[in-house]
């Protein structure tokens, strides 16, 4: 198994910080806010691969237990395990799916976009299931308030994440651009 380097930890921390910044762009849409966290999660997975992106998400979730970095400046165990906490927990399988799909083969724009779109599915699945359980909603109601309003914006986030990742991966500048794990 590959040991974590200082560069690996730094890259993961950078993307955890990006997730926190994305959470501050929070627009309430019913019980679930619109944020830029999904963009940051998908970009982390595309750039870092599943292992380091998972480290980023776990660091972000742990940080949110003590520092107000969740959507709307929320923090603590109540926020993580509250009605919208399932979306946060859904980031874990999302980075695994996106990271695994993005790293298999050449990092083409279609591959990255497909990885991002498929990575959104676990966020919705875990988030809407958790929302239904917490708010005692039917599955249809949970999908209606916790998934459908976010599909179009999340597709745009996946497109943008794929474009940014593709651009960063192909930069010939010699800068310390995050590399995907192997």
| DSSP 8-class letter at 173 | S
pLDDT at 173: 46
Nearest residue to 148 (alpha-carbon basis) of 133, 134, 128, 129:
128
- Which phi and psi angles does 137 have, rounded to 5°? -100, 155
Q: What angle do CA 111, 104, 58 make, to 5 degrees?
A: 95
The model's confidence at residue 78, banded by pLDDT at 50, 70 and 90, is: very high
Q: What angle do CA 153, 42, 124 make, to 5 degrees?
A: 60
Q: Would you state the CATH architecture of domain 6-169? A: Orthogonal Bundle (1.10)
Q: For the stretch 152-169, what's the b/e string if a residue is b when 16 or more beta carbons lie within 10 angstroms of its beta carbon? A: ebbeebbbebbebbbebb
Share of the chain above pLDDT 90, in %: 81
Give the integer Cα–Cα distance in Å for 149 and 182.
Answer: 35
pLDDT at 171: 65
Cα torsion through 172, 177, 178, 182, rounded to 10: 30
pLDDT at 169: 79
> Is residue 15 predicted with pLDDT exceeding 90?
yes
Give the integer Cα–Cα distance in Å for 86 and 119.
Answer: 15
> Is residue 178 predicted with pLDDT exceeding 60?
no
> Is residue 125 predicted with pLDDT exceeding 80?
yes
Residues 6+ apart with CB under 8 A from 67: 75
Beta bridge partners, 34, equal 27
């Amino acid at each position: 198994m590959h040991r974590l380097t200082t560069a690996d930890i730094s890259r993961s921390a950078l993307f955890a910080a990006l997730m926190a910044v994305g959470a501050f762009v929070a627009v309430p849409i019913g019980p679930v806010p619109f944020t830029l966290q999904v963009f940051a999660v998908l970009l982390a997975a595309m750039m870092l691969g599943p292992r380091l992106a998972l480290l980023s998400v776990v660091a972000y979730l742990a940080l949110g237990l003590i520092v107000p970095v969740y959507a709307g400046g929320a923090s603590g165990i109540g926020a993580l395990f509250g009605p919208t906490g399932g979306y946060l927990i859904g980031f874990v399988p999302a980075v695994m799916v996106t990271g695994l799909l993005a790293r298999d083969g050449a990092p083409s724009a279609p591959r990255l976009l497909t990885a991002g779109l498929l990575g959104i599915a676990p966020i919705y699945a875990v988030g809407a299931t958790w929302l239904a359980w917490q708010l005692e909603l039917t599955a249809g109601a949970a999908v209606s308030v916790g998934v459908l309003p976010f599909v179009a914006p999340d597709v745009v986030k996946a497109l943008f994440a794929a474009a940014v990742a593709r651009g960063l991966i192909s930069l010939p500048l010699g800068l310390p651009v995050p590399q995907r794990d192997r």
